[in-house]
Structure 1
Amino acid sequence: MKLGYNEATCKENSTVEKDLELCEKYGYDYIELRLDMLKDYLKTHTVDDLKAFFAKSHLKPFAFNSIENINFCNELEWKELVELFTFGCEIAQQIGNPYMIVVPTVTPEICTKNEKEVFDDSVKVLNQLADIAEPYGVKLSFEPIGDKKWCCNSVRQALEIVQAVNRDSVGLTVDCINVYLHDKCADVEYIKKIPKEKLFVFHINDCEDLPLGILDHCHRLMPGLGAIPVQAVSDAVQAVGYDGPACLELFRPEYWQMDAEDVIKMGADTTRPFL
C-alpha cells in the first residue's frame, strides 16, 4: 500500500498549503483534502494553484472528505448537501481527485431506524449522488461509522447497500476505528468479503483502550499505539487486493495542539510499518 494523509489529522492547527508542503516533505504519496479546509484555501488561492502544485509534486489528491449525514434529509438539508457535493465534484474533476467520501447520518442517541429503512434510503441516495458525480468522473466511497449513533455502522451493512446500488462508481471506505467501534474488530474477517473493485479507500488509525459507548473519535491515536489490531485490519484490506493508500485519519485534540510538522512526521513514521 501507499502512504496517505487525511487533513482531519491537523485540521485545527494547519492549512491546505501547509499540509501539502509537509506531506510532500515527509514522503506521503496521497492526500485526502477536507472540503471545509479547501474552501478556506480557495479564498486566497485558485484551483490552478492547486493543479500546479500537484503537477510538480510526488503527492497526489485521492479523496475529498466528506459529505456527511446523507440519509433521511429534508428538502433544505438535501439542497445544501447537493450544493456542497457538486462543489466538490467540480474541483475534483479539475485536479484529478478520484473519490468523494460520503457518510451516513448520525443521531444524538442510538439510531432507531431499522436496517430496511437504512438500506432503502441509502440505495436511493447513493444512486442520486452517483447521477451527479459520474459526469465529473468522480466515484463515491461510502463509509460506515461503527458507533451505533450512525444509521449504517458495519462493513457488512455497508457492503450490502453498495452491492445493491451496483454501480462501478460506488464503493466502500474501510476505517480501522470504525471497524473497532462496531464490535472491537470481532468481524474483521468480513473485510475479506469485499470485492477488490468495491474497496475504494482505507483509513488507518488506532485508539485508546476504552469501553464501547465511551470510546469516540477524539480518542484516536497513531497506528500501533493503541488497542486496535491495526495489522489484522491492514492484512484483511490487503488480502482483498487493495493496493491504494492507507490514509492516516485522526481527530485527536491533543494532536491539534502540537506543531503540524511534528504530527505529520510522526504519522509517516507510525504508518509505514503497516503498508
Structure 2
Amino acid sequence: MKKALHGISTHYCNILTDARIAHDTGYESLELLSAKLVRYLDNGGTTKKLKQVTDGYGLSVGCVNALLEMERYKGEEKKAMLAEATRLTRAAAELNCPTVQILALNGIDDKADDTVMDIITENVSAIASIGEEYGVRYQIEVIAFTKFRTLQQGLEVIRRVGKQNVGMVIDFWHLYAAGSPPEEVAQMDKDLIYGVHFCDGRLPKPGEPWDQMVLRNYMPGEGEIDIQAYVDAVKSTGYDGMWSAELFSPDRWEYDLYDIATLCRENMEKYIG
C-alpha cells in the first residue's frame, strides 16, 4: 500500500511545493492535479525537472488527476479532448506515472442514458488507445452529479471497451452520493481498482444545489459516509495499491498546508491501518 497526497488537499500550493510537503509529512506518493501540472509546464517547468525533484524526495507519482470532460464527442471539441489526453498521458509516461484519471462532467446530461453510455464508451476506447502507445493506464472516476455516475456504469464501460489499461478509482464521496454502496465495491475484481480517494461529505438537502465546495467540506469522519465500510470493502478485494488523501475543503485550504497534509495522512491511517 502506498499513501499519496492528493493535490486538491493542498489546493493553493504549486506542484514542487506539493512534493516537498508530501515528503516532509510522511507520504510515499503524489496524486498530481492536472491543472497544477499544466500550469507548471506552461510556465517553463519540465517533466525532467519534476521527476528529479520527486525522485530526490523518494516519492513516486501515482496518478495525474485528471482529464476533464472526457464526454466531448463533437468535431473540434473531441479533437481538443484527445489532444489534452495525449499531453497528460505523455507527461505521465515521462514521470514514470502509471495512471491518468479521466472523468465526464455535465456535457451530455441532456442525452438518453443509452446514448451517454455509447459516447463514454467510444471516447474511453479512443483515450485508452493513446495510453497503449505510452504504457499508461486510465482510472475512470464517476461523478455523482452527472448522468455517468454509478460504479456499475463505470464497470460496464470497462467491459465494453475491453482494453487492459482501463480501471476505476474508488472515490468514497462520489460513490456514496451516487448510491453505489460498499457492497458493490467489495464485489469488484481488485485488478480493476487503480486507486482510492479517501474522502467524506454529504448529500445535498432538498432544494440544495450540488456544490462540492459545500457538500465535500468535511474531513473523513465528519460527514455522512461510513468511511470504515468503504475502507473494509476495498481491503476485502485484496487491493494493495495507492490510497490518496483527498480533502476537498475550502475551510481547511486556509490552514497551514503542512498541518493539513499531516492531518490527512494521520486520519487516513486511522481507518486503513
Structure-2-length-normalised TM-score: 0.91
**Structure 2 residue 221 is the aligned partner of structure 1 residue 202:** no
Distance 1:189 1:211 in 2: 25
1:173 touches 1:200 (CA, 8 Å); kept in 2?
yes
Compute the displacement of 1:39 (Å): 2.0
Structure 2: distance between partners of 1:167 and 1:85: 17
**Partners in 2 of 1:61 and 1:192 — Cα distance?**
26
Aligned match of 1:235: 232
Q: Residue 222 of structure 1 contacts residue 271 of structure 1 at CA under 8 Å; is this kept in 2? A: no
Equivalent residue number for residue 159 of structure 1: 155
Contact 1:61 1:97 in 2 (8 A): yes
1:86 aligned partner: 86
Three-state SS of the structure 1 residue aligned to 2:77 is helix
Q: Give 1:87 shift.
A: 1.1
Structure 1 residue 209, shift from structure 2 partner: 6.7
CA contact (8 A) 2:72 2:81 kept: no
- Report the AA paired with residue 203 of structure 1: H
TM-superposed deviation, 1:208: 4.5
* Code of the aligned partner of 2:239: Y
Cα separation, 1, equivalents of 2:130 and 2:227: 35
Instruction: Tell me if structure 1 keeps the 8 A contact 2:31–2:65.
Output: yes
Q: Cα offset for 1:230?
A: 0.7
| Residue 18 of structure 1: aligned partner | 17
Alignment correspondent of 2:170: 174
2: distance between equivalents of 1:193 and 1:77?
36
Please give the secondary structure, in 1, of the residue aligned with 2:65.
strand
Q: Secondary structure at the match of 1:105?
A: coil
- Give the CA deviation at 1:47: 1.7
**Does the CA contact (< 8 Å) of 1:64 and 1:97 recur in 2?**
yes
**Unmatched tracts of structure 2, length 5 or more:** none
1:175 deviates by: 0.3
Question: What SS does the aligned partner of 2:9 have?
Answer: helix
Equivalent residues of 1:98, 1:139 under 8 A apart: yes
Counterpart position of 1:122: 120
What is the correspondence of 1:43-122 to structure 2 with a 5 Å cutoff?
Answer: 43-107=43-107, 111-122=109-120
1:188: Cα distance to partner? 2.1
How far, CA to CA, are the matches of 1:140 and 1:260 in structure 2?
A: 29
Contact 1:26 1:265 in 2 (8 A): yes
TM-superposed CA distance for 1:256, in Å, is 2.2
3-state secondary structure, aligned to 1:8: coil
How far apart, CA to CA, are the structure 1 residues paired with 2:182 and 2:269?
Answer: 21
The counterpart of 1:189, out of the listed 174, 179, 183, is 183
Contact 1:130 1:140 in 2 (8 A): yes
Q: Specify the SS of the correspondent of 1:84.
A: helix
Matched residues in 2 for 1:22 and 1:162: separation? 35
Whole-Å separation in 2 of the counterparts to 1:236 and 1:51: 34
- After superposition, the C-alpha distances for 1:109-142 in whole angstroms (9 at most, x for unaligned) are xx34333212211211111011111111110111
TM-score after normalising by structure 1:
0.91
